Amino acid sequence: MTLNWQQEAAKYKDQMLTDLTSLLKINSARDVEHKEDDAPLGPGPRDALLQMLAIADRDGFTTKNIENVAGRIEFGSGDEIFGILGHVDVVPAGDGWETNPFEPVIKDGKIYARGSSDDKGPSIAAYYALKLLKDNDIKLNKKVHFIFGTDEESEWVGINRYLEVEPKPDFAISPDANFPIINGEKGIVSYMITFKPVDGADGEMTLVSFKSGLRANMVPQTAKAILTGAMPADFQAKFDAYVAEHKLQGTITTDGDQTVIDLIGKGSHAQEPKAGVNAATHLATFLADFALDAKGGNYIGTIARLMHEDSRGHLLNINHTDDVMGDLTACPAVFNYTQDGVASVLLNVRYPKGVTDESTREGLAKTLSDVADVTIEGHAQAPHYVPGDDELVATLLQVFEDQTGLKGHEQVIGGGTYGRILERGVAFGALPEERENVMHQANEYMHIEDIMNAIAIYADAIYRLTR
């Protein structure tokens, strides 16, 4: 094939940015609280799916909408199906944005918006790769099904429904991670830690509520505690010192007889808790030095003692390392406490081969047996690995090397992509290895240059994998 993929990709820059902007303007976070008959996962995910399919219809592709929870763009012909697996949903925007997260801004060669890097930017790059092949009348010897889900960031209802009613690809890539390739993904599971009732004397202060976290797959950026009772005279001074020491932001305000404490850390993807600064565990660690009521003190003390800055689960006695897949990671992600009601923590764990979701639950339950019950929350996913000598992996690495001049290599991540849903499925791009990973963070962005390079890489990859 003599086509210069980079030169061909460059022709689409302006149109690509127009289409990407139209997708980024849609707040497509899963929102079942506002679901409708034709939007079972919420209006935003539906609207983003419809917009993506409308773009493909405009360009003359055959498309199919599966119940407004998934969709497909088709190209090529043959007995085998090569899948491209993207998603149009996003995690909630959260706090800390310098611009409107759903009004894309281009600055210094980057496009800022929620979903720019995860996964609308990479998905639009893969779409334009397919369009490039179509526009150049390149015949593919396999069917290409570009499949879009609408709740990849949560329960995978969309992609699972798709696979129930539509043909399953024989092999696939997911443009939803990093180059050069992600051919291994750790298991993913969330545990609901529900605290047991506590009897005991009141303290000098009573914890009325403690809230933090948006989703299981995000390090919580903000945390709020509400207290009543007499605040120690040095409470503000100690808070100021703690915030300064740990380079945080925070405020203490009063509302009637209540003291409200807000703390700001740094949000990030839960796959590597060290990339963020967990506002909730920091706030608990600060409060643990004060005399709280029995229930509140038990909750705060447990978090501070067993969950703060322990990304590998050593304090919880669930740490494990595999030679290929690396360390287990643990991210306390969602905190919910009320004085007269619930007291819980949702803990997100990414685990390698050698342990299971149930064996890890048993370890947690043993460690926390005196204070809490532990159950698996939602759907758990086992570790996934496609060997490096598989033709799919070898071909993609060769494409990467040919298009970038860089050396390709295997990678295993703690993140979860649609690639794991197939036995021969991998994640492939679009974030270059040397770039900062800002997925799930405030002020998420993607370099426009990287999107353009990804179009060329994906076009070459689709061509070679459909020979």
Residues tagged active-site: 89, 152
Distances (CA, A) of 425 to 39, 49, 83, 232: 28, 22, 9, 57
- Contact between 190 and 347 (Cβ < 8 Å): yes
Residue identified by tokens 């497509």 is 28
Distances (CA, A) of 29 to 26, 55, 88, 92: 9, 20, 9, 6
State the Cα–Cα distance between residues 229 and 425, nearest whole angstrom.
56
- Contact between 392 and 465 (Cβ < 8 Å): yes
Distance of CA 394 to the CA centre of its chain: 27
**Structure tokens that stand for 324 in this block:** 């290929």
**Structure tokens that stand for 11 in this block:** 């022709």
φ, ψ for residue 9, nearest 5 deg: -65, -40
Residue of 190, 182, 195, 238 lying closest to 213 (CA atoms): 190
Strand partners, 336: 211, 344
**Structure tokens that stand for 244 in this block:** 């300064």
**Structure tokens that stand for 256 in this block:** 């009637």
- Contact between 221 and 262 (Cβ < 8 Å): no
Residue identified by tokens 């043959």 is 78
State the Cα–Cα distance between residues 135 and 315, nearest whole angstrom.
56
Q: Centre a 10 Å sphere on the Cβ of residue 150 and count the other Cβ atoms it contains.
A: 34
